[in-house]
Structure 1
Amino acid sequence: MEIKAADVAKLRKMTGAGMMDCKKALIEADGDYDKAQDIIRERGKLVAAKRADRSATEGVVVSKIVGQKGYMLCLACETDFVAKNSEFSATANEILDIAIAADAADLEALNAVAADGRTVADKVTEKSGQTGEKVELVYYAKIEAPMCVTYIHTNHKLGTLIGFNKEIGMEVAKDVAMQAAAMAPISISREDCDPAVIEHERSIGREQARLDGKPEAMLDKIAEGKVNKFLTENTLLSQPLVKNNKLSVGAYIKQDDPQATVVAYKRFSLND
């Protein structure tokens, strides 16, 4: 049967698949749209299965602030060529909009959300079929706070979400989001740092002091000093501000508002 350009365009709109893939599917399905969609989905599953052992180290990080909530996700693929394709970015943003509409709690919940008769997991699998590469939704997070800001680095492989306990100046808020992107703090503050991480650093500090020949009675004090240094350098509010290292990030925020602080923080990088 004759497959018209309008039919191909219609299927492409329904599936997001390439024009030639849509035409082939319609020919194979004798013009039946439902069958053609199934064919495209099955091809996506086949590609995904074949590429399962590949590494998806490229991709895009996208984010959005909606009211007092912030959302961020990363759609990953195998090559920079695919990652820089506008349609790939459009798919990442489409999934982000689905996440926002559903207010998905986590990555597992987002993958299960259905839109247009397909789950997000299905959409990701179909993207594998369209690109011929392994495609994965590798990260998703959301925060909620009285003020939320986001920063996406220019390479679109790194992003942060920061939540504040109250409204502050946007320039200050953006500086904090960029600080988190650049310096990769492990937590907001000393108080919410994983105790296991602190104990690990304490053990390293004690062992280093022992190897340096320090007296046994001094090991704990030396180790504690190293832990304090580590926490100063690696927790967001204690870190020296990149744009003025005479100020900590916490002090910089309080210059804008003495009652303000960070209450939520998420960071993701494809390069980590």
Structure 2
Amino acid sequence: MSQISAKDVKDLRDKTGVGMMDCKKALEETGGDMQKAIEYLRKKGAALAAKRAGREASEGMIAIRISDDNTSGVIIELNCETDFVARGDDFTGFAAAIADLALENGIASAEAMMSLKLGEAYGNESVEDSIKTMTGRLGEKIDLKRLSLLQTSTGIIASYIHPGSQLGAIVELATDKPAESAELARDIAMQVAASSPIVVDRSVVPAENIEKEKEIFRQQALSQGKPEQFVEKIVTGRLEKYYQEVVLLEQPFIKDSNSRVQGVLEEFARKNGAAVSVTRFVRYQLGA
């Protein structure tokens, strides 16, 4: 067997990002052939990915990319097994590369990403194969759990990521004055991240959610000994509070608890002579 030089080992590590000892073993197993060694490591990564498929990958990060013209935005959740790996440059760089690729191609789901090819830094492999390779490199299960895309032709997309990259949101703001609305849009994204609404306005709260909450409030009132004739009024009052918790426009504004989000939008519209409304949002929290 030919002697494996330190330079060859370093070159293979530079090409693959895999640890030095694994690179040395790959070259030894393939007689020093660089291309065969790369293929060896890819197969090893695929085998490790299959072996760890049943493992729980509950750590990771949220990554967001917004287009330069603020009309398109992508949010992803990429998972791994430990916080140590999640904070490493290899993992965070991989998440960034996937988010960039999704934005560039207008991809709206994790499934649709799998066949796309990442750049030279990832061996021009597909996302699916790159995930296997990254699993081999990091020694942990890697999973692209979810991905969402927002695009608009009538306003702007804005985002907010909480420090630590475990919570983030993107929002679509319909407006005829996008430049003036940029700060407001970011505030709304921060609102969504911090206050976790489930819908923009109460008209689209799922009927099953309303009935479930009504029944809970009804049983609470009865168990507290409230007279039957007052129960429905109590339920109605508590349902209003529920709306203020889960409906974005009815939530207290995070920058001024005396104002509601709807009121903030109306005040901005009045001051700026603008039409402005929240169309939709996506909020990701790691593991949720």
The TM-score, its normalising length taken from structure 2, stands at 0.85
Tell me the equivalent position of 1:244.
256
Q: How many residues align?
A: 272
Displacement after TM superposition at 1:84 (Å): 1.1
- Is contact 2:156-2:182 (8 Å) kept? no
User: Tell me, what secondary structure is at the counterpart of 1:251?
Assistant: helix
Letter in 2 for 1:159: G
**Distance of 2:10 and 2:76 partners within structure 1:** 29
SS in 1 for 2:114: helix
Matches within 5 A, 1:70-81: 70-81=73-84
1:125 is aligned to 2:141:
no
Residues 1:103 and 1:137: Cα distance change in structure 2 (over 3 Å): same
Alignment-mate amino acid for residue 30 of structure 1: G
Partner amino acid, structure 1, of 2:146? Y
* C-alpha distance in 2 between matches for 1:100 and 1:33: 33
Correspondence 1:16-165 to 2 at 5 A: 16-66=17-67, 67=69, 68-115=71-118, 117-145=124-152, 146-165=155-174
Letter in 2 for 1:204: I
Cα distance in 2 for residues equivalent to 1:92 and 1:19: 23
Q: Does 2:205 correspond to 1:202?
A: no
Q: Distance in 2 between matches of 1:4 and 1:256?
A: 66
**Are the structure 2 counterparts of residues 131 and 269 from structure 1 closer, same or farther at C-alpha, using a change threshold of 3 Å?**
same
After superposition, give the CA deviation of every residue in 1:158-198 in whole Å (9 maximum; x if it has no partner).
Answer: 11101100224333222211111111111222122222222
Percent identity between matched residues is: 36
Letter in 2 for 1:150: S
CA-based RMSD: 2.2
Residues 72, 142 of structure 1: 8 Å contact kept: yes
Amino acid at match of 1:50: K
Q: CA deviation at 1:41?
A: 2.0
- Structure 2 CA distance for partners of 1:192 and 1:2, relative to 1, 3 Å: farther
> Equivalent residue for 2:247?
235
Letter in structure 2 aligned against 1:79: T
Q: Helix, strand or coil for the counterpart of 1:112?
A: coil
Unaligned runs of 5+ in 2: none
Cα separation, partners in 2 of 1:9 and 1:264, compared to 1, 3 Å? farther
- Assess if the C-alpha contact under 8 Å between 1:141 and 1:266 holds in 2: yes
Q: Mapping of 1:203-218 within 5 angstroms? A: 203-218=215-230
User: Deviation of residue 271 (structure 1)?
Assistant: 5.2
* Structure-2 separation of matches of 1:5 and 1:72: 41
| Structure 1 residue identity aligned to 2:285 | S
CA distance in 2, matches of 1:189, 1:54: 39
Change (3 A) 1:235 1:10: farther
Q: Deviations over 1:197-247 (max 9, x none)?
A: 222112211221222223334433322222221011221111001221111
Distance 1:39 1:247, change over 3 A: same
Read off the aligned partner of 2:114 and give its amino acid letter.
N
Unaligned runs of 5+ in 1: none
User: What is the alpha-carbon distance in structure 2 between the residues aligned to residue 9 and residue 194 of structure 1?
Assistant: 57
Distance 2:137 2:286 in 1: 22
Range moving further from structure 2, 223-232 or 167-176: 167-176
Q: Which amino acid aligns with 2:78?
A: L
The CA deviation at 1:10 is 5.0
CA distance in 2, matches of 1:90, 1:110: 17
Instruction: Look up the equivalent residue of 1:268 and give its one-letter code.
Output: Y
On the 8 A contact 1:161/1:267 being kept in 2, the answer is yes
TM-aligned CA distance change 1:237 to 1:19, over 3 Å: farther
